[in-house]
Structure 1
Amino acid sequence: MEAFSAQPAPPAGVTLEDNVGHVVEVVRRVAEYGPVVLVGTSGGGATVTGVGNAVPDLLDRIVCASAWCCMELPSMADYLRTLGIEDFASFLVNWRSADPRFLRAAKEALMPDATDEQFRVALNLLEPADSAQVAHADARGRADTWGRIPHTYIRFSRGGTAPPALQDRMIAEADALTPENPFQVHTVDTGHLGVLLRPGEAARILDTLV
């Protein structure tokens, strides 16, 4: 475990620009077939915001589902600091851990409304690494690009990784940036990984947006 935790994360060199560029290419390919509704969850909010800045004319709507949508503060790391998380590095996480203290803390942060069995299934879907470069990159939406696209925020009302107060702050900041085009807001009573636990509720909301 010491060797595992000390080794660099494989995606440590990935940048937000890499992520945005990849999704932009996908959007360009699919836009010819009909409306494009781009959905981001958690840290994916930074990527979909960047895509909105890059190709606003190709997107019909952006949806953030318990996602970071940076507006007044530049980066996800800056918003995480408001939660008392001072450092975000490219680290490896052992989601297969048997440590009961880690599992209790992770469940409370990510999926407090799940059973232990449901949570263990969800952990098997998680990647063990992320990129600090993405977390520290300037991911702010711009009024003249992102701000032109209709946008929806699906709040997940159970606390954890993205507390409701933080989600509400980002919604309010975005509405202040583009008061003529505010977020359409929906709320689902679930935790941060709620799209895995309550996919039907999220799908019904998305179905109304197309």
Structure 2
Amino acid sequence: MSTLVLVHGFWHGSWCWSEVIPHLVAAGRTAVAVDLAGHGLYARRPRWLTERPCDRAAVAAEVSPVADVSLDGAAALLTEQVKRIGRGEPVTVVAHSAAGPVLTRVAEQAPELVAHALYVTAYMPASDTPAVAYTRIPEAAGDQVAPLLRGDPAEIGALRLDLATDDPAYRRGLREAFYGDVDPVLADAATGLLTPDGPLGIMLGTTTLTRAGWGSVPRTYVLCAEDQAIQPAVQRRFVAEADAAFPGDPMSVVSLDASHSPFLSMPGRLAEVIVRNG
């Protein structure tokens, strides 16, 4: 019955858990959603997003104001949040998408703070491997997020979405990539809350995994079978690599027939999975 700490992925915010938390509380659990570094209340938006007329050239060229956010910094923030929320007691951390590497780093460095690590269609890179490496493997073919990115991430320091565009095809692509099975009205509302830049530094950082650290923390992976952002084959590879690294302690795996955002398409079902496994 540990406290639940919910962490969103890139471009989102703590708001994305608002449909899940009532189900968790109704099940008798204490649940708190927090903002990932560079997002939510920690977001800093590039100038082109709000300037009018929009400088279309700047969309691809302006250096991101969150280019300085690293995996180290993101993990330090989450560690601080976990300590405050748990008051020193271990908590269950639920990480979605690009929050996965951050959870992994926290669990490796401070396993005593994490009662259970629960990854929801999240990046869960192997030891000393950056999360970004998994965007280039054969299993990632068909990823619908990559075509939406603007600018050179290495130059601007971020994975950038063009949230100022009025191109209906692009906006349709956003919905299909993140919210394929979400009610269109709700999907449009969620799209309006996104921030444009996901800090590249989080995806570039690596963590050396040890038996005494991350390997000692109970782990569950929630595999989303209809995900178009992180392909199911990539998700299965995360699990296979973890099990190969720690063969005596295989991960628990739960499958959902969901897109990348089960917190919006099936919040009650996702809450059930969290309560049962966390």
> Quick check: TM above 0.5?
yes
Displacement after TM superposition at 1:120 (Å): 1.0
Instruction: Judge conservation of contact 1:109–1:161 (CA < 8 Å) in 2.
Output: yes
Query: Does 90-99 or 141-150 show the bigger shift?
Result: 90-99
Q: For 2:214, which of 125, 131, 146 is the aligned residue?
A: 146
Residue 185 of structure 1 pairs with residue 185 of structure 2: no
Q: 1:167 to 1:73 in 2, by over 3 A?
A: farther
SS in 1 for 2:198: coil
Query: Does 146-155 or 70-79 show the bigger shift?
Result: 70-79
Partner of 1:74: 129
Q: 1:24 to 1:204 in 2, by over 3 A?
A: same
Q: Distance in 2 between matches of 1:69 and 1:145?
A: 15
Counting matched residue pairs gives 210
The TM-score with structure 1 as length reference comes to: 0.90
Q: Distance in 2 between matches of 1:101 and 1:73?
A: 38
Residue 44 of structure 1 pairs with residue 106 of structure 2: no
Deviations 1:157-197 (A, max 9, x none): 10311111110110111111112221111111111122222
Displacement after TM superposition at 1:96 (Å): 5.0
Query: Does 109-118 or 12-21 show the bigger shift?
Result: 109-118
Partner of 1:196: 264
Q: Distance in 1 between matches of 2:207 and 2:230?
A: 17
Query: Does 174-183 or 108-117 show the bigger shift?
Result: 108-117
**Backbone CA RMSD of aligned residues:** 2.2
Residue 57 of structure 1 pairs with residue 125 of structure 2: no
Partner of 2:190: 122
Q: 1:162 to 1:73 in 2, by over 3 A?
A: farther
Residue 111 of structure 1 pairs with residue 179 of structure 2: yes
Q: Distance in 1 between matches of 2:170 and 2:114?
A: 40
- Give identity over the alignment, percent: 27
Q: Which amino acid aligns with 2:69?
A: V
Q: Distance in 1 between matches of 2:174 and 2:211?
A: 36
Q: Distance in 2 between matches of 1:44 and 1:110?
A: 15
Q: Distance in 1 between matches of 2:267 and 2:136?
A: 30
Q: 1:35 to 1:21 in 2, by over 3 A?
A: closer
Displacement after TM superposition at 1:6 (Å): 2.3
1:68-107 map, 5 Å: 68-71=123-126, 74-82=129-137, 83=140, 88-89=153-154, 90-107=158-175
Q: 1:107 to 1:33 in 2, by over 3 A?
A: same
Displacement after TM superposition at 1:7 (Å): 1.5
Q: Distance in 2 between matches of 1:46 and 1:168?
A: 16
Q: Distance in 2 between matches of 1:145 and 1:98?
A: 47
Instruction: Judge conservation of contact 2:108–2:214 (CA < 8 Å) in 1.
Output: yes
Residue 23 of structure 1 pairs with residue 78 of structure 2: yes
Instruction: Judge conservation of contact 1:8–1:92 (CA < 8 Å) in 2.
Output: no
Structure 2 alignment gaps of length 5 or more: 1-55, 147-151
Instruction: Judge conservation of contact 2:127–2:209 (CA < 8 Å) in 1.
Output: no
Q: Distance in 2 between matches of 1:175 and 1:153?
A: 12
Instruction: Judge conservation of contact 1:8–1:91 (CA < 8 Å) in 2.
Output: no
The TM-score with structure 2 as length reference comes to: 0.69
Q: For 2:237, which of 169, 182, 190 is the aligned residue?
A: 169
Q: Distance in 2 between matches of 1:123 and 1:182?
A: 36
Q: Distance in 2 between matches of 1:95 and 1:129?
A: 10
